[in-house]
Amino acid sequence: MPDPTPRHIAIVMDGNGRWARKRFMPRGVGHKAGVDALVKVVQAAADRGVGFLTVFAFSSENWKRPEEEVSGLMSLLLVALSKHLVRLKADGVRIRIVGDLDQVSDKVRSALLDAQSATVGNSRLVLTVAFNYGGRWDIVQACRQAMAAGLAPEQLTEAELSRFMAMAYAPDPDLFIRTGGEVRLSNFLLWQSAYAELMFTDCLWPDFDAAELDRAIAEFGRRERRFGDVGSSGEGEGAIGAGEDASPQPPHCED
Ligand code: FPP
């Protein structure tokens, strides 16, 4: 039986603003709570043997937000790194950054790259922080690199292009989670998520915790991954965690 634990989980951490508004607080408070949730989920994922966790921290579209919110997110990132980096490093987390860092301030770029360098020796869990990232940007930058490397059109295969994608070091995500109730990919890991199992939850990101992660992993174990093949013929057979209780779980996360 295949291992029901996804090797790579990607998360769109949505719902921070609504979480704060429900509490009559500024959106920035929600983002701060989002950082706390992220730190806990990283620990929980590592404990469960997930090898790669990739989170959408700042999309290439997030620049459209009010200037105050954008600068708040940048400041929060700096605070979060200075507060949590030592612990993450001690816990064996390797931080990697993907995204167009040419567009971010020197201070933010340095902090991100320093975190990456400081944890380069770790391998328990690779936490990829997608920052000023967009899936279309990634595909275009990969094509540009392939062209710059002198690849002829007939040499450009899926495998070749994959070598130039920003996350070439990681397996494709097995499980793609989006919190916050929206049901779309929002330009996250478009190339890499071709065969990911998609999971959408109403849970607002600051409420997402180890129990929610376990719920998502359990649901992943009930999915049948076919990768374009016909899969098994019997109902439930062939699911990743086949043999386990396949009954749907009640929703848990409530706000
Ligand atoms: C979406 O919630 C969330 C973000 C745009 C940022 C996610 C960032 C973190 C969890 C913190 C870690 C990252 C940084 C940059 C410090 P939303 O604001 O769209 O929520 P809403 O849909 O309820 O408005």
- Per-residue pLDDT tens digits for 177-200: 999 999 999 999 999 999 999 999
Q: Round to the nearest angstrom and report the end-to-end CA distance of the chain.
A: 36
Query: What is the band of 236 on the pLDDT scale with cuts at 50, 70, 90?
Result: very low
At 250, list the tokens.
Answer: 């009640």
Mutate to test the pocket of ligand 1, among 31, 39, 40, 75 (most ligand atoms within 8 A of CB): 31
Whether 236 maps to a domain, the answer reads no
pLDDT over threshold 70, residue 246: no
The atom of ligand 1 lying closest to the CA of 38 is: 10
pLDDT at 233: 52
List the residue whose alpha carbon is closest to atom 6 of ligand 1.
57
The angle at the Cα of 111, spanning 127 to 116, to the nearest 5 degrees, equals: 35
Centre of ligand 1 to C-alpha 62, Å, is 9
Is residue 145 in contact with ligand 1, taking CB distance under 6 Å?
A: no
Token pair 């109403």 is found at 202
Centre of ligand 1 to C-alpha 239, Å, is 33
Is residue 57 in contact with ligand 1, taking CB distance under 6 Å?
A: yes
Is residue 99 in contact with ligand 1, taking CB distance under 6 Å?
A: no
CATH number at residue 134: 3.40.1180.10
Host domain of residue 92: 8-222
Whether 228 maps to a domain, the answer reads no
Whether 238 maps to a domain, the answer reads no
Neighbouring residues of 93: CB distance < 8 A, sequence distance ≥ 6: 42, 46, 119, 122, 124, 125, 126, 127
Amino acid of residue 158: E
Going by their DSSP bridges, the two strands 125-133 and 52-59 should be labelled as: parallel
| Cβ atoms within 10 Å of 9's Cβ, excluding its own | 27
**pLDDT per residue over 114-166, tens digit each?**
999 999 999 999 999 999 999 999 999 999 999 999 999 999 999 999 999 99
pTM: 0.92
Rounded to an integer, what distance in angstroms lies between the CA atom of residue 251 and that of residue 204? 13
List the residue whose alpha carbon is closest to atom 7 of ligand 1.
57
Annotated catalytic, 14?
yes
Is residue 62 in contact with ligand 1, taking CB distance under 6 Å?
A: yes
Residues 10-30 have a mean pLDDT of 98
Whether 249 maps to a domain, the answer reads no
* Mean pLDDT, the chain, integer: 92
pLDDT at 167: 98
pLDDT at 215: 97
Token pair 């994922």 is found at 45
- Determine which one of 62, 91, 122, 202 is catalytic: 62
Centre of ligand 1 to C-alpha 12, Å, is 9
DSSP letter assigned to residue 180: S
Amino acid of residue 189: L
Percent of the chain's residues with pLDDT above 90? 86
- Number of domains into which the chain is organized: 1
Rounded to an integer, what distance in angstroms lies between the CA atom of residue 62 and that of residue 57? 10
Helix axes 27-47, 67-90, angle to 10 degrees: 30
Whether 237 maps to a domain, the answer reads no
Whether 245 maps to a domain, the answer reads no
Is residue 13 in contact with ligand 1, taking CB distance under 6 Å?
A: yes
Whether 243 maps to a domain, the answer reads no
Whether 253 maps to a domain, the answer reads no
Residue-level length of the chain: 255
CB 238 within 8 A of CB 231: yes
pLDDT at 242: 47
**pLDDT per residue over 69-82, tens digit each?**
999 999 999 999 99
